[in-house]
Amino acid sequence: MNKRIPHLDLDENLVREARKLAKDVTDDVQRFIDVKSTTSVERTVVRLYGIDGIDAEDVPLPNVIVDDVKNGGGLDRGVAYWIANGCIAKSMMPQELAEAVGRREFSLMDLPPQNEGLVAEKIDEMTKSAIEHITEIRETRDRMLEELGDPPQPYLYVIVATGNIYEDVVQARAAVKEGADIVAVIRSTAQSLLDYVPYGATTEGYGGTYATQENFKIMRAALDEVQQEVGRYVRLTNYASGLCMPEITAMGALEGLDFLLNDSMYGILFRNINMIRTFVDQYTSRLISAYSHITINTGEDNYIKTSDPIDRAHTVTTSQLINEQFALKSYMKPEYMGIGHAFEIDPDVTNGLLYEIAHAMLTRELFPQATPKYMPPTRHMTGNIFKGYAMNSLYNLVSIMTGQSIQLLGMLTEAIHTPFLQDRYLAISNAKYVFNNAKDIGNEIVFKSDGFIQKRANEVLENAVKLLEHVKAVGLISAIEEGTFGDISRKRDEGKGGDGVFTKGEDYYNPILEAIIEELRGESV
């Protein structure tokens, strides 16, 4: 990894204590995650069995299938059984079966139970081929990454957000030629609240394009092409969040995505999605990411958009530790954890830069094996693009100094619109200038042991430990109800998508997740 960063003297006992507490907090949540599933988890299974497409009313077939089983009262067994049973009964492939159900020719629930041995065999066969498929995609990507070469960190990460995937391709190509290492395709406003994944290419999205499998495919193909021209691997990012979090992850696994925004609490806090739904969904989602070597990006930067970045800095640390523990429960290797944080302190604060350095160092040192994702100033960006450009330079400086891994480039027009072509170019030139001009600055820096930065980092850590103690005492769910993160309070029984959560029956079976867990567990031993 070869990161030249200055050293921070963190209290090692405190670090251990923090991790232990975060583990206890998430263990508590994992206990109910383990006994529940959701409609979107089941649709994920359907998708991984190769079922795609829509019915005559544009309803995605994974929804058709899961609704069919749900309405027939069979969902607590898991959808896999019903698909396999249907395939045998009708002598059809899963896709054919789904299309027939989509034409309302029959319900899976009306088909007579088939010979158990045959059904079990069918399930094994379908599962094996699903796993083989995503394994192959993972291996192809890992090979490309090796052949073309992994660019140096911090990676330059830019967004495209025209709302038209084909226009996005034009902008992405230009950005890659200017030096971008990662392209994120921004998602359409409010997709999070759709309880299905739209189908096909988007040409007229609001604030972005839908996360659809077709859009993923189009952009990945474009990047595959341009990365050959520039001779370095280019990563593709989308958003596995909202009501379809695990389904989108499955689509990402199928289309070779590299990064997915994926937070264990963001949907609850910022989109008012039901807590249980989110916790259950993020587990499946992360298992698939861990398996497919998709780097997740957590969303702590958001908390300090709605709450004060200095007073509430420890909530960022607390959430990072919680996100890490949830990821570990999904057997994710640290290198695939894009732990989030941000440069969001009000530019009028005296010595704001010192706070930023302390906070950035804390993240870096707390997660030495991870791939931290550093987010730029957004909230205090205004129509004064010139000042914004200066703020972005300081942000870039902190990043190179403290050895961050993923640099989401700040846009000087952040307060105005989604980036113009030239905004992205200016952002890339700014980052390249600073990263080159201050390349080895981290090597030269020693923080005074009684200085502001050391003290501040330890203070934030202490506050995080105190907060974790409290969260452990009341439980994560109550802590969220209290408004611990982002100054936003959500109630346990409220929020969207709660009706999609169900308790697994005694005969519940999710063969895909079981296969993934088995492999990952094997690796981690």
Site string for ligand B12, 492-511 (x = CB under 6 A): --------------------
Query: Taking phi first (over 0 means left), then psi (-120 to 50 degrees means alpha), and beta for anything else, what does residue 134 get?
Result: alpha
Q: Which does 187 bind (CB under 5 to 8 A by kind): ligand B12, another protein, none?
A: ligand B12
Q: Does 187 bind ligand B12 (CB under 6 A)?
A: yes
Q: Does 190 bind ligand B12 (CB under 6 A)?
A: yes
3-state secondary structure of 87: helix
Q: What length does the chain have?
A: 525
* Closest residue by Cα to residue 212 from 223, 200, 229, 203: 200
| Tokens (6 digits) for 437 | 């001009």
| Tokens (6 digits) for 516 | 């993934």
Distance CA 386, CA 319 (A): 33
Residues 404-463 that bind ligand B12 (CB under 6 A): 414-415, 417-418
Q: Does 489 bind ligand B12 (CB under 6 A)?
A: no
Distance CA 207, CA 187 (A): 7
Cα–Cα distances in angstroms (integers) from residue 496 to residues 302, 404, 521, in the given order: 20, 35, 33
511-524 and 39-48 helices, crossing angle to 10°: 80
Q: Which is nearer to ligand B12, 184 or 218 (CB)?
A: 184
3-state secondary structure of 286: helix
Smallest gap from Cβ 185 to ligand B12, in A, equals 10
Q: Which is nearer to ligand B12, 90 or 379 (CB)?
A: 379
Scanning the structure block, which residue is given the tokens 């696994």? 253
Smallest gap from Cβ 259 to ligand B12, in A, equals 16
Of 36-44, 298-306, 326-334, 460-468, the window that binds ligand B12 (rule: CB under 6 A) is 298-306
Residues at the contact surface with another protein, assessed by CB under 8 A? 163, 173-175, 177-178, 189-190, 193, 206-207, 270-272, 305-306, 379, 382-383, 415, 418, 420-422, 425-426
373 annotated active-site: yes
Q: Does 203 bind ligand B12 (CB under 6 A)?
A: no
Scanning the structure block, which residue is given the tokens 């001779």? 231
Distance CA 525, CA 522 (A): 6
Q: Does 264 bind ligand B12 (CB under 6 A)?
A: no
By CB under 6 A, how many residues form the interface with ligand B12? 17
| Other CB atoms within 10 Å distance of the CB of residue 102 | 21
Distance CA 366, CA 387 (A): 32
Q: Which is nearer to ligand B12, 11 or 195 (CB)?
A: 195
Of 278, 325, 378, 454, the one binding ligand B12 by CB under 6 A: 378
Residues making contact with ligand B12 (CB under 6 A): 186-187, 189-190, 207-208, 270, 302, 305-306, 378-379, 381, 414-415, 417-418
> Active-site positions?
266, 301, 373
